[in-house]
Structure 1
Amino acid sequence: MTARPSPATGPPPSGRTPSAPARAEQAAATGSATRSRAGTKPPAGTHGVRPAAPLTEEDRARLLGGAHHDPHALLGAHPVRGGLLVRALRPHARRVTVVAKGLRAELPSEGDGLFAGVLPLRTAPEYELLVDYGEHTLTVRDPYRFLPALGELDLHLFGEGRHEQLWQALGARTMDHQGATGTRFTLWAPNARGVRVVGDFNYWDGTASPMRSLGSSGIWELFLPGIGAGELYKFEITRPDGSRTVRADPMARRTECPPATASVVDESHFRWQDAEWMAGRGRRPVHQAPFSVYEVHLPSWRPGLTYRQLAAQLPVYIKDLGFTHVEFMPVAEHPFGGSWGYQVTGFYAPTARMGTPDDFRFLIDALHRAGIGVLMDWVPAHFPRDDWALAEFDGRPLYEHQDPARAAHPDWGTLEFDYGRTEVRNFLVANAVYWCEEFHIDGLRVDAVASMLYLDYSREDGGWTPNVHGGREDLDAVAFLQEMNATVYRRCPGVVTIAEESTAWDGVTRATHLVGPGGFGGLGFGLKWNMGWMHDSLGYVSKEPVHRKYHHGEMTFSMIYAYSENYVLPISHDEVVHGKRALVSKMPGDWWQQRANHRAYLGFMWAHPGKQLLFMGQEFAQGAEWAESHGPDWWLLDPSYEAEPDHRGVRDLVRDLNSRYAAAPALWERDTDPAGFRWIDGDAGEDNVFSFLRFAADGSPLISVSNFSPVVRHAYRLGVPDDIPAWREILNTDDPRYGGSGVANPDLLKTDPTPWNGRDSSLTTVLPPLATIWFAPA
């Protein structure tokens, strides 16, 4: 479970202060336009224009109050008996004139900014509105003369919960529509009485920009001609009780930089250059491939860098260290930086703190071109309560569960999604696909899966309601995770999904169509974080060596269940914050012993079945806890710092661990196959020694031996396969280059016929203090 700081209170809900009424009026002219000089007036032209029948009092009140479900039925051009009725809503305008080829007709005022008249025409021409505000005049296209810009198929797929590219249907999308260039705004708000678009283009006064409801879909739509990329906007929603709320777009693909909260109309112009990477990433199953991950909090890796500046530095650093993948802590927009991204308000928008969405694409492209895969933390478990975001979005629970007890997350002060609601499930499944398709993400690490799976998670007895079968499993969440995984794997070849799941739930990485002993189909993840290994192994190495023999089983227990799932071994950000101390600081002893323990532990971790994940700063034995305010202590690697070899040596070890690992198929080809591992001696607790064999697909072996005692063990015998005549040391964490004492084995160790450890042959080795050694056939 990811540790979280306190939730954010968030900035003011609107993110904007409306301008004076006169300026708001100018804004009512949505669209681009031709602005005439102050004082000029359009020629009057009322010839042939008759007054229109007035609106009913109900329609008028609902339209002006932002609570009308179909403003297009009242505004725009409509054939009536005797001509063509044109009505426009332009508050504070002095005159509104219809202009078309061969036509210039001024509309009589109906008061309150409404102008309407019946023109002597049978059909509606392509017309514009000339809006005179006295000091200036705008020429605009009438948004209410356009048909809906969202198709029936989109509505059908969303209603079925199967719109797998939902971001192409909802939100703000620039387009050409009926001969006009502009932006289509669409919003799902089924409980709203009315919705209006507000933004910089209308000075945050939505009076002239009401949206229409598209039937039972719950979707509201409005095409605004002349509005393009870069415009700021939100939605003003009239709630069921008549009150109003201004909300950011849940589907916004770009946002303002926090603490500002507006959504931004966006269109991508990025040209990918990673075709070779994308074509090859799925050729080898991830379970049978080297997979070594460097976890990064982008805003603090080197604070102050933009996405494009990171692209110049991060790929070089990761490639030099030999990691196969980088994992970003959550990058979706979040208002409170102290949440590290785990309290998301903009699920479809990369955080604007470091640049634009195309800048983020640039970073991923640079990593791919360097041969580095990109994983991303994804947070579908909950969202914060900020009143400009998702909470009670349209006046009633919408994204969260209807039952307040089910909606409230007991640990983080946030709200849980309603996974049983079709549209909410679609919102999240499409979001997983979105990051993979639009940003070429290679894997999603799904946060806090355990909190989703159990109805009683962190809840006291009586504080939760069993499912229909009387159990504690959240059946809706199970179905959602299965659908998400199945959809991502079907649509995005080569992508891997990874579960942060801290319980013994059966079948996290089992295929969704395979039913396990508990009666559930597999959740369908590709990999799962091994939280048990992490907890037990860190508990062991934090003990003084003299006490470790009493905890020996904590290091060997992981092999009891190592093949029950497909595992990642994580030393993540969660383990180096909130008083848990950095990895090297968990180790006992003086500074030399701490570093030696640190190196030995990493050697053990890289050899253990499962993939590896290491959080930034641990690769050079940073002693201080991580803090998002300043990031890793890079100064420790400065050559002018007298202790620099201590830290640079650990970083050199990590580089060599990754290179030796990548070159040794025995360490990764059979990570999920029990035949790929054999203990040499798993019971040497008195010696604090762990020795085992790993095997490649062709049977080629590799030996790993870890001595977690501070003494040298001379003539230490290991039982080995008798078909290998000699072995050589390929990695020793006690090497002086890493800061070790330099105890090593001869260049060649010959197998002798002395039976040992249940085998007919053995090796005589020397084990350095607090060190891990790998041996390969000579």
Structure 2
Amino acid sequence: MSSRTPDRSSGRTPEAAARGYSEETVRPKASGTAPRADAASAASTRKESPKGTAPNSLAEGDRWRLLHGTHHDPHGLLGAHHDAGGVRFRVLKPYAHAAAVLIEGGAGAARRVELAAEGDGLFSALVPLERIPAYKVAVTYEDGEHVADDPYRFLPALGELDLHLIGEGRHEELWRALGSRVMEHEGVTGTRFAVWAPNAQGVRLAADFTFWDGTAYPMRSLGGTGVWELFVPGVGAGTAYKYEIVARDGGHKLRADPMARATEVPPKTASIVTESAYEWRDREWMAHRADVPVHRAPFSVYEVHLPSWRPGLTYRQLAEQLPAYVKELGFTHVELMPVAEHPFGGSWGYQVTSYYAPTSRLGTPDDFRFLVDALHLAGIGVIMDWVPAHFPKDDWALAKFDGQALYEHQDPRMAEHPDWGTLEFDFGRSEVRNFLVANAVYWCEEFHVDGLRVDAVASMLYLDYSREPGQWTPNAHGGRENLDAVAFLQEMNATVYRRCPGAVTIAEESTAWDGVTRPTHLVGPTGFGGLGFGLKWNMGWMHDSLEYMGHEPVHRKYHHNEMTFSMVYAYSENYVLPISHDEVVHGKRSLVNKMPGDWWQQRANQRAYLGFMWAHPGKQLLFMGQEFAQGAEWSHDHGPDWWLLDETYSAAGDHRGVRELVRDLNAVYTATPALWQLDTDPAGFEWIDGGAIEDNTFSFLRLPATGEPLLCVSNFAPVVRHDYRLGTPDTQWTPVLNTDAPRYGGSGAAPEPLLKPEPVPWHGRPHSITLTLPPLSTVWLKPLA
């Protein structure tokens, strides 16, 4: 059966639609498809109670609250219960003509007891029994009778330990407790629904099989935890559902499940019951990804926006193309811009509404697993962008979820994000912090993601971020630091590293906050423990180096320090050097168009810059399209200009050459421990000459723990420099990479193939070499074996 919303254009009345179910709808299918149940559209007019209704067996207050969705314990009213004179059976079945219970007996026999109509869909009967028996409910609609298990005869399907951990905000596998989960409960297969809504007067389940009317499926409140629960027999994977929340002011609102693990395809907004049948093939990858810490291993990242990398491809189709492309270029990892479900594609995934669901635009959760698996089988790690800083205000999602501020801070000044028109999480509330910490673990454990790049960390750390005086309140110590956010980030990082060996967390943090990549148990000079991230984006290096490259070469000598200043703080954190999507949109121009000069010089500048970047201490990240010098800014609608690489395009060699360079940079990089082994250790770097201001050149050594060094020389002037002398260790050198090589689109100028040291002191060293430096180029040299 399809889980689509019923077609209301068929001409059927709501009553007829509610009664038009086939026999298959009252028992679970082998496929797990959700059965359709017995309620009609919330928009329809209720049918009059049949004549001859029985006296009301419910107290008027209980009846009113049950029918209006504000009863905290519907299981105490519905189902079977001891009553004076026997057992009272009661069901709530709007639009039903009649209802009965089938009491199970020996040898398969069943006793049928008709229930008296009490109006508004309530039916009941008192049966002279000493014990509550096993039974089913038979409901008669216009099309006939349907038999099903009664949801209100089951005990809670959520354990006491789960509730205890949820109450304390320490449930590290929260997705196994809350949300929808197909399961067997008391011998019956169905789906357990559980949601945290502590401010609600009541919660009801509304779904495609109820025609989005929650009247027949009120949920029960489980103690003081704020959790509401209902087990529905026969409901399976593919069912679309929401929760009907009754707020304290009496208002009713349909809300998507915050813990939904699948969703409808936007712009539809319902949650989808799902269960995974995926069998992973990446056992070897997972077993060995923790062998070498990330900061001591090659780490070259290709950033991808999945919906636009090859527009129109699904997760499984991407799995056929993306791993092969990334592997050919030699990147060790991909970083996926946010994958979690988001209603507005133009947000690129940075305004998330369903934190536990991969976007359904590209396929199912298992399809996303297939893509991650394919990348792992190709030897490529997967980093996922994660957005715990804020969420959108869509009124069907997290904003005022149960009628009041819940996931957001109750103080509007702290809830409103001034830059993005979104809401910030209340990091001081234990359940909200638990929601996010468990979510980080969820992606790593359930989808084998190898790391999380955490977006907008600075906006979380500072109470006055983008706020004017009077728009924020200092912390308990009078400072501007958001102590709750600090505690959250520390807990998140510590939990991920403890539970997910080999995973890495990466902070996009744009300030000078001390200790972003310091372990959480080590306290820095500011008095804060480290945040515990594995890596941090080096936004300062990115800004300064692009600023330098944007100047005409004749002016670069006045900005020389913009390329050397990064080494003043290079070892204060574990850094990634990011040329990300943020740098090639919104009028910032593509990487090649940031460069001065004519087309040849622009490409030469980019090639020289990439050579410098790959040799600089820190890991590398390059956004898609920049690997072949795309001239246009990135568009999330049509993605990279792949046609530029078409051999029939007259200037294709210009772009293919840059891509060939990126491939060779990665090949030499991964094969050269000097370029990554001591990335976070000052012993891994030595300047040869960082002060050649008049020449626009930079030269330095990269050193491994053991083995050969690598010599990097960048010439950011558009002239060939002959007989350029550098002080070097006493060894013979040979070029291993030259960004000016003809196959990259360069002029063909090159250093000599063998460079012998001379006993000429230079740059404070007793030996030196002379070499030819090509124009606008970077050359790498290694000792001749």
Q: What TM-score range do you get, normalising by the shorter chain?
A: over 0.9
Q: Equivalent residues in 2 for 1:569-588 (5 A)?
A: 569-588=577-596
Q: Give the secondary-structure state (helix, strand or coil) at the position aligned to 2:417.
A: coil
Alignment CA distance shift 1:620-1:373 (3 Å): same
Deviation at 1:135, TM superposition (A): 2.5
Q: Equivalent residues in 2 for 1:707-726 (5 A)?
A: 707-722=715-730, 724=731, 726=732
Of 197, 204, 227, the residue aligned with 1:219 is: 227
Q: Match of 2:623, as an amino acid? A: F
Q: Give the secondary-structure state (helix, strand or coil) at the position aligned to 1:737.
A: helix
Deviation at 1:508, TM superposition (A): 0.1
Structure 1 contact 29–90 (Cα < 8 Å) conserved = no
Q: Give the secondary-structure state (helix, strand or coil) at the position aligned to 1:108.
A: strand
Deviation at 1:21, TM superposition (A): 3.5
Matched, 1:469 2:462: no
Of 758, 765, 773, the residue aligned with 1:759 is: 765
- In 2, Cα distance between equivalents of 1:480 and 1:421: 10
Deviation at 1:23, TM superposition (A): 4.8
What is the match of residue 776 of structure 2? 770
- In 2, Cα distance between equivalents of 1:572 and 1:282: 26
Q: Give the secondary-structure state (helix, strand or coil) at the position aligned to 2:694.
A: helix
Q: Match of 1:537, as an amino acid? A: S
- In 1, Cα distance between equivalents of 2:198 and 2:16: 32
What is the match of residue 94 of structure 1? 97
What is the match of residue 14 of structure 2? 21
What is the match of residue 524 of structure 1? 532
Q: Give the secondary-structure state (helix, strand or coil) at the position aligned to 1:216.
A: coil
- In 2, Cα distance between equivalents of 1:356 and 1:163: 26
Q: Give the secondary-structure state (helix, strand or coil) at the position aligned to 2:224.
A: helix
What is the match of residue 668 of structure 1? 676
- In 2, Cα distance between equivalents of 1:488 and 1:29: 48
Q: Match of 1:331, as an amino acid? A: V
What is the match of residue 423 of structure 1? 431
- In 2, Cα distance between equivalents of 1:34 and 1:744: 76
The CA deviation string for residues 501-532 of structure 1, in whole angstroms up to 9 with x for no partner, is 00000000000000000000000000000000
Q: Match of 2:699, as an amino acid? A: S
- In 2, Cα distance between equivalents of 1:34 and 1:137: 13
Deviation at 1:51, TM superposition (A): 6.9
Deviation at 1:25, TM superposition (A): 4.0
Structure 1 contact 32–227 (Cα < 8 Å) conserved = no
Of 633, 641, 656, the residue aligned with 2:664 is: 656
The CA deviation string for residues 271-291 of structure 1, in whole angstroms up to 9 with x for no partner, is 000001000100001111000
What is the match of residue 451 of structure 1? 459
Q: Match of 1:106, as an amino acid? A: E
Q: Match of 1:615, as an amino acid? A: F
Deviation at 1:746, TM superposition (A): 2.1
Q: Match of 1:55, as an amino acid? A: L
- In 2, Cα distance between equivalents of 1:647 and 1:353: 31
- In 2, Cα distance between equivalents of 1:235 and 1:333: 18
- In 2, Cα distance between equivalents of 1:669 and 1:751: 26
Deviation at 1:143, TM superposition (A): 0.4
Matched, 1:300 2:308: yes
The CA deviation string for residues 607-644 of structure 1, in whole angstroms up to 9 with x for no partner, is 00000000000000000000000000000000000000
Matched, 1:286 2:279: no
What is the match of residue 479 of structure 1? 487
Q: Give the secondary-structure state (helix, strand or coil) at the position aligned to 2:639.
A: coil
Deviation at 1:458, TM superposition (A): 0.3
- In 2, Cα distance between equivalents of 1:422 and 1:439: 25
Deviation at 1:756, TM superposition (A): 0.4
Identical residues among aligned pairs (%): 72
Matched, 1:191 2:199: yes
The CA deviation string for residues 585-627 of structure 1, in whole angstroms up to 9 with x for no partner, is 0000000000000000000000000000000000000000000
What is the match of residue 7 of structure 1? none
Deviation at 1:82, TM superposition (A): 1.5
What is the match of residue 66 of structure 2? 63
What is the match of residue 652 of structure 2? 644
Of 377, 383, 390, the residue aligned with 2:385 is: 377
What is the match of residue 521 of structure 2? 513
Deviation at 1:20, TM superposition (A): 4.6
The CA deviation string for residues 442-478 of structure 1, in whole angstroms up to 9 with x for no partner, is 0100000000000000001111100000000000000
Q: Match of 2:95, as an amino acid? A: H
- In 2, Cα distance between equivalents of 1:274 and 1:469: 48
- In 2, Cα distance between equivalents of 1:320 and 1:25: 56
Alignment CA distance shift 1:709-1:570 (3 Å): same
Of 205, 210, 214, the residue aligned with 2:218 is: 210
- In 2, Cα distance between equivalents of 1:90 and 1:517: 65
> What is the aligned residue count?
749
Runs of 4 or more, structure 1, over 2 Å off, are: 14-21, 23-32, 50-53
What is the match of residue 44 of structure 2? none
Structure 1 contact 28–208 (Cα < 8 Å) conserved = no
Give the structure, 1 or 2, with the largest relative contact order (CA under 8 Å, sep 6 or more). Answer: 1
The CA deviation string for residues 11-64 of structure 1, in whole angstroms up to 9 with x for no partner, is xxx9997995315644999994169xxxxxxxxxxxxxx978721111111100
Of 729, 736, 750, the residue aligned with 2:756 is: 750
Alignment CA distance shift 1:259-1:694 (3 Å): same
Higher deviation after alignment, 195-204 or 292-301: 195-204
Structure 1 contact 97–106 (Cα < 8 Å) conserved = yes
The CA deviation string for residues 49-106 of structure 1, in whole angstroms up to 9 with x for no partner, is x978721111111100011100000000001221111000011211101112331000
Q: Equivalent residues in 2 for 1:314-713 (5 A)?
A: 314-698=322-706, 700-713=708-721
Matched, 1:75 2:57: no
What is the match of residue 167 of structure 1? 175
Alignment CA distance shift 1:34-1:250 (3 Å): closer
What is the match of residue 137 of structure 2? 129
Alignment CA distance shift 1:504-1:15 (3 Å): farther
The CA deviation string for residues 413-442 of structure 1, in whole angstroms up to 9 with x for no partner, is 000000000100000000000000000000
Structure 1 contact 70–213 (Cα < 8 Å) conserved = yes
Q: CA-atom RMSD, angstroms? A: 1.7
Structure 1 contact 150–169 (Cα < 8 Å) conserved = yes
Q: Match of 2:340, as an amino acid? A: A
Q: Match of 1:374, as an amino acid? A: V
- In 2, Cα distance between equivalents of 1:138 and 1:532: 67
Structure 2 contact 751–774 (Cα < 8 Å) conserved = no
Q: Give the secondary-structure state (helix, strand or coil) at the position aligned to 2:318.
A: helix
Alignment CA distance shift 1:684-1:512 (3 Å): same
Q: Give the secondary-structure state (helix, strand or coil) at the position aligned to 1:234.
A: strand
Q: Match of 2:61, as an amino acid? A: E
What is the match of residue 41 of structure 1? none
Structure 2 contact 23–146 (Cα < 8 Å) conserved = no
Q: Give the secondary-structure state (helix, strand or coil) at the position aligned to 2:418.
A: coil
- In 2, Cα distance between equivalents of 1:531 and 1:394: 39
Of 737, 740, 747, the residue aligned with 2:746 is: 740
The CA deviation string for residues 346-402 of structure 1, in whole angstroms up to 9 with x for no partner, is 100000000000000000000000000000000000000000000000000000000
Q: Match of 2:463, as an amino acid? A: L
Structure 1 contact 28–90 (Cα < 8 Å) conserved = no
Structure 1 contact 75–89 (Cα < 8 Å) conserved = yes
- In 2, Cα distance between equivalents of 1:706 and 1:20: 76
Q: Match of 2:89, as an amino acid? A: V
Alignment CA distance shift 1:687-1:16 (3 Å): farther
Alignment CA distance shift 1:553-1:17 (3 Å): farther
- In 2, Cα distance between equivalents of 1:495 and 1:311: 21
Deviation at 1:157, TM superposition (A): 0.6
- In 1, Cα distance between equivalents of 2:22 and 2:229: 18
Q: Give the secondary-structure state (helix, strand or coil) at the position aligned to 1:750.
A: coil
Structure 2 contact 451–504 (Cα < 8 Å) conserved = yes
Deviation at 1:179, TM superposition (A): 1.2
The CA deviation string for residues 702-741 of structure 1, in whole angstroms up to 9 with x for no partner, is 100000000000000010012x2x0000000000000000
Q: Match of 2:454, as an amino acid? A: V
- In 2, Cα distance between equivalents of 1:192 and 1:26: 31
Q: Give the secondary-structure state (helix, strand or coil) at the position aligned to 1:253.
A: coil
Deviation at 1:700, TM superposition (A): 2.5
